[in-house]
Amino acid sequence: MEKSIANRLKRVRDALETESADALLETHPPNIYYLSGFTGDAGILLVQPTSVTLFTDGRFTIQAKEEAPGVRAHIHRGGPLVGSVGAYLRRKNRIRVAVSPTRLSLASWTILKKAAGKGVRWVASDGIVDRLRAVKDAAEIDRIRDAARVGSEVMEETIHLVRPGVTELDLAAEIGYRMRRKGASGESFEAIVAAGPRSALPHARPTSRQIGRNELVVLDLGAILRRYCSDLTRTVYVGRAPGRVRRWYQAVLGAQAAARAAVRAGVTAGEVDAAARNLLQRKGLGRYFVHSTGHGIGLEIHEDPKLARGQKGLLEPGNVITLEPGVYIEGVGGIRIEDDILVTPRGAEVLTTAPREFLEI
């Protein structure tokens, strides 16, 4: 880990130079972990050209020493943490500090600015670390691969438990349990198990509703292994599916295949989205595809790049993304198929292995 952290810090410092900043003030916990190894809940990291300082409180003294040995810990006592950072910066004359306006509350900003005084110059700059994180190194890809394997195994096992009378919450309990038994530290998000008309809600929470006959069931789950997330979705039918449901399923599967075929380093994220979207539109299902085609995964379940309409950013080797087209028909049900994909120089490697064929249970 230490070597990759050194490499990341170097890239942050290069980015700071481009932004004409001397230091990065980082408040987002996954970014702090990425640049230091520290996993505590409360911390602010200050990256300077020759030092990295972690501002945290007494609860995390031991943890900071263990997890972030290369970092100078500044143990803060009382008052808001940003106040401590501001007081520290006040002593650095004319330092230019990059901060992220989307990750700093108006209240923290007010305290920080006041504590730092007029000698500090602020550079508003979102996404310096997020952009680095979008390209995974070999160790990160290994971890996501593990998370994808566990997610896939649990998906296959859970699909075998789907039957009339089982509740959505029963299946959600099995998902969480089986993941942890396979070594996951937790779930990337609370698993979605949505049956019947509820499957038409892309963000449904599992309920005590029993699964009935002749229903679609959407299962969307992800495992965290060594801090990295996976995210996959399968949709099955309980009973013998009517023709239209089969056609919808094949269309979604086709849309996902089209997106996958479009993936390679150098294409825009928007082109991948368009590949899935155009296919669903040709099948007359475009208006039922109410979200974007995918997103990056890694330390967080949603990160860069976003695979949405019109996104101009280019895919790079080392991006790990989901492809998750879906159709949602109010009152009837929804179908979504989602896999995790590593972007390679010439194409895509699928990391999730659960079968994608239409399954009638």
Secondary element (H or E) of residue 65: helix 61-67
Beta bridge partners of 295: 306
* Residues 173-192, mask of contacts with its own copies (x by CB under 8 A): xx-xx-xxx-xxxx---x--
Residues from 215 through 274 that contact its own copies (CB under 8 A): none
Q: Is 106 a binder of its own copies (CB under 8 A)?
A: yes
Using an 8 Å Cβ cutoff, are 46 and 85 in contact?
yes
Residue choice 87, 141, 201, 359 for contact with its own copies (CB under 8 A): 201
Torsion of CA 357, 345, 264, 146, to 10 degrees: 40
Of the ranges 9-17, 36-44, 148-156, 244-252, which one interacts with its own copies (CB under 8 A)? 36-44
- The answer to whether residue 17 forms part of the interface with its own copies (CB under 8 A) is no
Residue 182 or 247 having the CB closest to its own copies: 182
Return the closest-CA partner of residue 310 out of 273, 281, 280: 273
Per-residue binding letters, 71-90, with its own copies (x by CB under 8 A): --------------------
CB of 105 or CB of 250, closer to its own copies: 105
CA distances from 283 to 80, 221, 251, 255 (A): 55, 28, 7, 10
> Which structure tokens are listed for 138?
């070999």
Residue 127 contacts its own copies per CB under 8 A: no
**Residue 26: enclosing H or E segment and its boundaries?**
strand 23-26
In angstroms, what is the minimal distance from the CB of 109 to its own copies? 5
Please name which of 259, 210, 24 lies closest in space to residue 129, comparing C-alpha atoms: 24
Contact set with its own copies (CB under 8 A)? 39-41, 58-63, 99, 101-110, 124, 126, 169-170, 172-174, 176-177, 179-181, 183-186, 190, 200-203, 205-208, 290-291, 328, 330
